[in-house]
A = this chain, B = another copy of it.
Amino acid sequence: MVEKTPTVYDVAEMAGVSIATVSRYFRNPAAVRETTRERVREVVRELGYVPSGSARGLAARRTGTIGVCFPSFDDVAQIDARRLEGGPPVQVRVDADAHVDTGSDLYIAEVVRGTEIEAWRHGFAVMIAVPRGAAAHNVVEGLAGRVDGLVTLARAIDADQLAHIARRLPVVVVAGPREGDVYDHVTANNHGGMVALTDHLIDDHRLTRLEFVGGPEDSPDAQTRFEGFTEAMLLAGLGVPERPIARCDFTRAGGRETGRRLLAEGLLDDLDGLVCANDQSALGVLDELTAAGVRVPQDLAVTGFDGIEASNVATPRLTTVRQPMVELGRLAVAQVLHRLNEPMTEPTTRVLPVEVLLRDSCGPHAGDVA
């Protein structure tokens, strides 16, 4: 950003054409004579001209970008404190314990990736924003003002503000159940997946004493999965726990903490299996069980939910339910785009299929299923 920023006027003048022609050169090159086009191209190169997205958006009344909002699980204060540099260029250390420090949410990363892919397919860009901290409202408002439509994960934006911006642009909620709202929803079949998984444990492995490790209290996904679990237990005539035997925050560190607690309190002694609300927490539980000498699946079955890559690398490989995370993101964007054209149709709810992946952490498979 060294030189004065050139505008259409500069290009037009230098190329000896009108600004309309310069605009056409970018928007609809075919409508410009070959020789003219060449002249404009030359000037654009020479001047280093880049069209202003703001001016474009203002004039055309569309930004060509989709907003994506998701909740943050990182500790803001901690982020603030962590310094960016310093220390020796290379540090060597024995990483004896499988410590965990990544707060990265693979699930969100995949959904975001899906939104980017679908947006790209339609020539849209993606703008991401995380409403955390005191300025959360401003973050969302800024985002809303800069995009043509918004995809938001459940719990990222408070209901009032969401209602406010939904008056101005299409909003699609990912992974949240409809709660009396009027937005389009895209979600995975959490309920069905968990029922099928629990059925498998009960029917094929003959496990009867099962408990559920829950997620955050306010996670609709975690809640739905718990309901799927209890429904399957109920239908099998088994005792149904009123609540999860424990809750954790969907992170692996949280899972380990939970694992330690359950072990310490002897809560696993009469158990056949632990059904966890997501993969990360299941992996954490697994860490602790293994460390404590509990054999999985022989002594205790453990299952996850999501189908992140780590679940497929763990020992034992984790039986889980794969959510189509990329597809969730893609479909959400597709729906935003659809509603941009068809504003007045009824709000929709799309439920994407899931896949129960039977691997090693629930016991040996009698044979192929389904």
A104 close to chain B: CB less than 8 A: yes
Chain B residue numbers with a CB within 8 Å of A350 are: 85
Q: Is chain A's interface secondary structure helix, strand, loop, or mixed overall?
A: mixed
A246 close to chain B: CB less than 8 A: no
A124 to chain B, nearest CB (A): 9
Given A141-B51, A369-B93, A127-B65 contact (CB < 8 Å): yes
Specify how many copies of this chain sit in the oligomer.
Answer: 2
Q: Is A283 within 8 A of B84, CB to CB? A: no
Contact partner of A94 (CB less than 8 A), chosen from B57, B120, B369, is B369
Given A146-B125, A313-B98, A370-B92, A84-B330 contact (CB < 8 Å): yes
Q: Is B125 within 8 A of A90, CB to CB? A: no
Given A93-B358, A145-B52, A343-B192 contact (CB < 8 Å): no
A239 close to chain B: CB less than 8 A: no
Q: Is A90 within 8 A of B121, CB to CB? A: no
| Interface-located stretch among A160-168, A173-181, A215-223, A257-265 | A160-168
Chain B residue numbers with a CB within 8 Å of A95 are: 312, 317, 357-359
A48 close to chain B: CB less than 8 A: yes
A355 close to chain B: CB less than 8 A: yes
Q: Is B330 within 8 A of A98, CB to CB? A: no
A368 close to chain B: CB less than 8 A: yes
Q: Is B331 within 8 A of A85, CB to CB? A: yes
Contact partner of A309 (CB less than 8 A), chosen from B54, B93, B102, B164, is B102
Contact digits for A321-340, partner B, Cβ 8 Å, 1 yes 0 no: 00000110011001000011
A184 to chain B, nearest CB (A): 13
